[in-house]
Amino acid sequence: MSKNAIVTGGTRGIGAAIAQRLKDSGCTVAATYAGNDEAAAKFKDETGISVFKWDVGDYEACKGGVIEIEAAQGPTDILVNNAGITRDGMFHKMTPQQWSEVIRADLDSVFNMSHQVFPGMRERKFGRIINISSINGQKGQMGQTNYSAAKAGMLGFTRALAQEGAFKGVTVNAVAPGYIATDMVAAMSEKVLDSITAQIPVGRLGEASEIAECVAFLADEKCGFMTGAVLTANGGQYIAS
Ligand code: NDP
CATH of the domain at 167: 3.40.50.720
Please give the model's pTM, rounded to 2 decimal places: 0.98
Is ligand 1 within 6 A of the CB of residue 6?
no
Q: What atom in ligand 1 is closest to the CA of residue 84?
A: 32
CA distance 22 to 133: 19
**Does residue 237 sit within a domain?**
no
Contact between 95 and 23 under an 8 Å Cβ cutoff? The reply is no
Best residue for ligand 1 mutational test, from 85, 101, 157 (most atoms within 8 Å of Cβ):
85
Check pocket membership of 137 for ligand 1, CB cut-off 6 A.
Answer: no
pLDDT in tens, 44-72: 999 999 999 999 999 999 999 999 999 99
Residue 238, in any domain of the structure: no
* Domain range enclosing 119: 4-230
Q: Which residues of 33-67 are buried (b: 16+ CB within 10 A; e: fewer)?
A: bbeeeebbeebeeebebbbbebbbbbeeebeebbe
Question: Would you say the CB of residue 15 lies under 6 angstroms from ligand 1?
Answer: yes
Task: Point out the ligand 1 atom lying closest to the alpha carbon of residue 83.
Answer: 7
| Count of the separate structural domains present in the chain | 1
CB 148 within 8 A of CB 86: no
Q: How many residues does the chain have?
A: 241
Residue 1 has pLDDT above 80, yes or no: no
101 within domain boundaries: yes
- CA-based R_g, the chain, Å: 17
Q: Is residue 240 part of a domain?
A: no
Asked if residue 156 belongs to a domain, the reply is yes
Structural domain includes residue 19: yes
Residue 236 lies in a domain: no
DSSP string covering 25-45: TT-EEEEEESS-HHHHHHHHH
User: How far is it, in rounded angstroms, from Cα 9 to Cα 16?
Assistant: 8
Q: Is residue 239 part of a domain?
A: no
* Spatial distance between the Cα atoms of 24 and 60, rounded to a whole number of angstroms: 31
Whether pLDDT at 136 is above 90: yes
Residue 107 CB coordination number (10 Å): 25
Distance CA 118, CA 129 (A): 8
> pLDDT tens across 155-206, in order?
999 999 999 999 999 999 999 999 999 988 888 888 988 999 999 999 999 9
